[in-house]
A and B are shown apart, each in its own frame.
Chain A
Amino acid sequence: MALLHIQMESRALHMPVPLDVILPQTAPSCPLQRPLKALYLLHGSSENQSAWLLKSNIYRYVQDLPLAVILPAGNNSMYVNTCAGQDYTDFLSWELPTVCEDWFPISRDREDRYICGSSMGGYGAFHAAMTYPEQFSRAISLSGAVDASSIYHDDDDLSGQAVNLLGPEGELPGGPNDLMALADKLADRPLEEIPRFLSLCGNQDYLLEDNLIFNEYMERCGLPLEFETWDGSHSWDFWDEAICRVLEWLDIRDRI
């Protein structure tokens, strides 16, 4: 597997964006049988595109899979179309896949496009897939910050920026950044247009409660969400285990 460190241009973000890509390498003697599947893998707050590579064994786990892993920099943006004018949801859901599918032998079929993330990235993955369900067939949250209102209060890396990212707290409910409101809208669509969701969270994670509440809401809406927990906290130890479970769940066949 090759590792690409990319600086790409972005119209949605009005600035260059760093991007790491883990890409299968083929030999002339055994070319690709079919286009690669793609996993868009998002990091959490305070981190950048190198987080997954540094802090987990993702590179090793995907050896021999017909899968490209695409790791964009999130820049503490919550992966939303921010009030400060940078459209991260549009970037993730449209601009980035379009560019990657033009450069690399990656499938243009929604069935082969998956999005996943840890913490802030978990929120980001669900948010992108629920905003643009036509773009992703699977979305996975690992200890996701699924209740965006918590950002305004928790003393975490984003609190000072919450208003600049999401807007005033009062405008969150029912708006484009409210995952429960997105769930309501999504539930009206026919089942084949709805992505399949997976949520993983550690038993000792401080976001477990928020995740349980959110998962229950998704169930009430009739949306296909699978939920698993095991012992672990809001930590890379957990996410390194969780990403293995994700790869199993995605069930990527047709090994190279």
Chain B
Amino acid sequence: MAFMEIQFYSEVLRMDMAAYVLIPQPKDPDASDEPYKTLWLYHGGSGDHTSWLRASRIETYAIERNIAVIMPGVHKSCFINMNMGPRYGDFVGRELVEIMRGFFPRLSRRREDNFVSGLSNGGYGCIHVGLSNPDIYGAIGAFSAGDKADVDFTSRQQEKQILFGDVDMPNSPYCLKYVGRQLIESGQTPPVVYHACGTEDPWLDMNNRMRNFFTSFPGDPFRYHYDLVEGYGHQWELWDMEIQKFLDYLGVMPRTR
């Protein structure tokens, strides 16, 4: 496994950006040349592209399961096209994917092989990106994630202005439930959704509301799984555990343990 920090240019953001990348390294000439399953892994509100590598054992899991992991940073954008800011949603959801596939022809282009995941703000972000781009992503792994449309911004007007503007949140493309309903109506295949939260999480209610949303569709189109974990709060111990369980849920198993 090789570890890389990549500095590249985003046309969408009009600036240089950075990402941490883990890529399998072929050990012998006869190793298979199967395209790599790829995990697009998002940081939380106070983090950056280095967070996952520092706070979890993601490299070990990537080696065990022979997958590529791409960890972008999106500054303070919450992974969306900002109202008072550049189009981070288009950048992280689509442009980044094209750029990385340009560097690494061995990254799989099949949606079944591409998973988007994240914690906290990145949990909101990965659901938003996954539901908005079902052609790219076959699975979403959201940890400690709520819908920004369920947030009370009354005392946080400035933050709301910067990110979303004066919109009616529940009826805007920033609302996860809105995007999800549109996706189901479009008839496109939705991504598989794995969702985890700790019982001690301060935003447990918001997570439960997401569970209610995903389980409201007949026929379980999202193959939705909710892991509510006793005793855990909004913490890395949970996220380090859940990234493994998410991959297990998808059948992307460790080769030897």
Contact = CB atoms under 8 A, between A and B. Distances in A.
Q: Do A and B bind each other?
A: yes
B154 to A, nearest CB: 42
Interface in B101-135: 102-106
B4 A98 contact: no
A99 B11 contact: no
| Interface size class, chain A | 20 to 34
Nearest to A32: B102
A23 interface: yes
A9 interface: yes
Nearest to B5: A5
A20 to B, nearest CB: 10
Given A4-B5, A99-B26, A27 B11 contact: yes
Nearest to B99: A25
B84 interface: no
A4 B103 CA distance: 10
Given A8-B25, A103-B23, A23 B4 contact: no
Interface residues of B, number: 23
B161 to A, nearest CB: 32
Main secondary structure of the interface of A (DSSP, over half): mixed
A25 B101 CA distance: 10
Given A6-B2, A25-B102, A98 B29 contact: yes
A61 interface: no
B98 interface: yes
A28 B98 contact: yes
A3 interface: yes
A68 to B, nearest CB: 10
Interface in B1-54: 1-9, 11, 23, 25-27, 29, 33
A105 B99 CA distance: 13
Nearest to B23: A103
B2 A8 contact: yes
B25 A99 contact: yes
A31 interface: yes
Interface in A1-40: 2-9, 11, 23, 25-28, 31-32
B2 A7 contact: yes
A9 B25 contact: yes
Given A25-B8, A25-B99, A28-B98, A102 B106 contact: yes
B57 to A, nearest CB: 16
B4 A5 contact: yes
A32 B11 CA distance: 17
Closest 7 CB pairs of A and B: A2-B8, A8-B2, A26-B102, A3-B7, A5-B5, A6-B4, A7-B3
18 contacts: A2-B6, A5-B4, A5-B6, A6-B4, A8-B25, A9-B1, A9-B25, A11-B27, A23-B103, A28-B102, A99-B2, A102-B25, A102-B26, A102-B33, A103-B23, A103-B103, A105-B103, A105-B105
Interface of A: 2-9, 11, 23, 25-28, 31-32, 98-99, 102-105
